Amino acid sequence: MTDDAFGEDPQRLPLFATAAGPNGHTRPGRIRSTFRLAEPAAKASEPADKAPEPVEPRRVSLPASLLTADELPVSLLPKVRSGGLDWARVARLRSEASTALTEALGEHPAMGRTEQEELGRSIIERLLDGEDADTVVQRGQARTLAERRQLAEATFDALFRLGRLQPLLDDPEVENVMITGFDRVVVERADGTLVEAEPVADSDEELLDFLSFLAARADNPRPFSASQPSLHLRLEDGSRLAAARDTARPSVVVRRHRVRRVTLADLVEWGTLSPLMAGFLSAAVKARRSIVVSGGQGDGKTTLVRALCAEIDPWEVIGTFETEHELFLHELSEQHRIVHAWEERPGSGEHATAGRSSGERRTPEQVIDSFRFTLSRQILGEIRGPEVWSMIKLMESGAGSLSTTHAADAYSTMRKLITCAMEAGPHVTMELAATKLADTIDFIVQMTCEIVTTPVGPRKVRRVAEILAVEPGEENKRYSLTSIFRAVPGGIGVADTPPPGRILDQLLAHGFDYTAFLAEADAHPRRQP
**pLDDT at position 514:** 97
**pLDDT at position 251:** 96
Q: Taking phi first (over 0 means left), then psi (-120 to 50 degrees means alpha), and beta for anything else, what does residue 425 get?
A: left
- DSSP secondary structure letter of residue 511: T
Count H helices, E strands: the chain? 14, 16
Q: Per residue of the chain (529 residues), what is the pLDDT tens digit? A: 444 444 444 344 444 444 444 444 444 333 333 433 334 344 444 444 444 444 333 333 333 333 343 444 444 445 444 556 777 788 788 888 888 888 888 877 777 778 888 898 999 999 888 877 766 555 556 678 888 888 888 888 878 888 888 888 888 888 899 999 999 999 998 778 899 998 998 899 989 988 887 787 777 778 898 889 999 888 887 788 999 999 999 999 998 877 778 999 999 999 999 999 999 999 999 999 999 999 998 899 999 999 999 999 999 999 999 888 888 899 898 899 999 999 887 665 555 555 556 667 888 888 888 888 989 999 998 898 898 999 998 898 877 899 999 999 999 999 999 999 999 999 999 999 999 999 999 999 999 999 888 887 788 899 999 999 999 987 778 899 999 999 998 899 999 999 988 899 999 999 999 999 999 999 999 876 5
Q: How many other C-beta atoms are found inside a 10 Å radius of the C-beta of residue 401?
A: 26
Nearest to 304 by CA among 285, 318, 325, 324: 285
Helix, strand, coil % in the chain, rounded to nearest 5: 35, 20, 45
Nearest to 175 by CA among 241, 255, 253: 255
Nearest to 406 by CA among 294, 292, 290, 291: 294
Q: Taking phi first (over 0 means left), then psi (-120 to 50 degrees means alpha), and beta for anything else, what does residue 181 get?
A: left
Q: How far is CA 385 from CA 225, 280, 343, 417, 421, in A?
A: 25, 29, 17, 8, 7
Question: CA-to-CA distance for 363 and 326, rounded, in angstroms?
Answer: 15
Residues 192, 453 contacting (CB under 8 angstroms): no
- Strand intervals (E) in 289-376: 291-295, 317-322, 338-343
Q: How many other C-beta atoms are found inside a 10 Å radius of the C-beta of residue 440?
A: 18
Task: Classify domain 52-81+162-258 at the CATH class level.
Answer: alpha beta
* Residues in contact with 422: Cβ distance below 8 Å, sequence separation at least 6, in sequence order: 428, 429, 430, 433
Q: How far is CA 56 from CA 53, 75, 81, 83, 174, in A?
A: 10, 15, 9, 11, 18
Residues of the chain with CATH 3.40.50.300: 264-350+358-523
Which CATH code for domain 264-350+358-523? 3.40.50.300
Question: CA-to-CA distance for 54 and 212, rounded, in angstroms?
Answer: 33
Cα angle 455-460-464, degrees, rounded to a multiple of 5: 130
Residues 302, 417 contacting (CB under 8 angstroms): no
Nearest to 437 by CA among 415, 456, 453, 412: 415
Residues of the chain with CATH 3.30.450.370: 52-81+162-258
Q: What is the largest CA-CA distance in the chain?
A: 89
Question: CA-to-CA distance for 500 and 497, rounded, in angstroms?
Answer: 9
Question: CA-to-CA distance for 7 and 171, rounded, in angstroms?
Answer: 34
